[in-house]
Amino acid sequence: MYLFAQHGILSIVAHNKKPDMLMVRSVARRDIEHYWPSAKIVRTDDGDYRFRTRLPRDEVAARIAQAVAAIDYPKVKPAVAKDRKHTYFTVWDTMMSCKMPEPRFVLEAFRVVAKVP
């Protein structure tokens, strides 16, 4: 799961050997520290994510639920740290390129290609 939250960008995946644990990863130590200040964070320079920690699933779920419950902003991009605005805009822009066309446009395109009356 990718999480682009107000105070950090996280990648959260299942631990490869411990089913009750999750790996929380990030390119910035501060992102993990914000949500889990007492977590043991390991730095590695040979992976996609420089920083990672291993946490119990229920602890991760509870903390993410707290973050969701605390949302008090009407728009995401203005709510993030100034040094992250460009990153969040880039993510938003990429998501917009994934939008599926409205069904009527698909049908119109089909008619043109297939010459359906």
Q: What is the mean pLDDT of the chain?
A: 87
pTM over 0.85, yes/no = no
pLDDT at 104 over 70: no
pLDDT number for residue 9: 95
Amino acid in the structure at residue 67: A
Q: Where are the beta strands (DSSP E) in the chain?
A: 2-5, 8-14, 21-26, 42-43, 51-56
29 near 35, Cβ under 8 Å? no
Burial group, residue 34, by CB count within 10 angstroms (0-12, 13-18, 19+): middle
pLDDT at 105 over 70: no
Amino acid in the structure at residue 38: S
- Three-class DSSP category at 82: helix
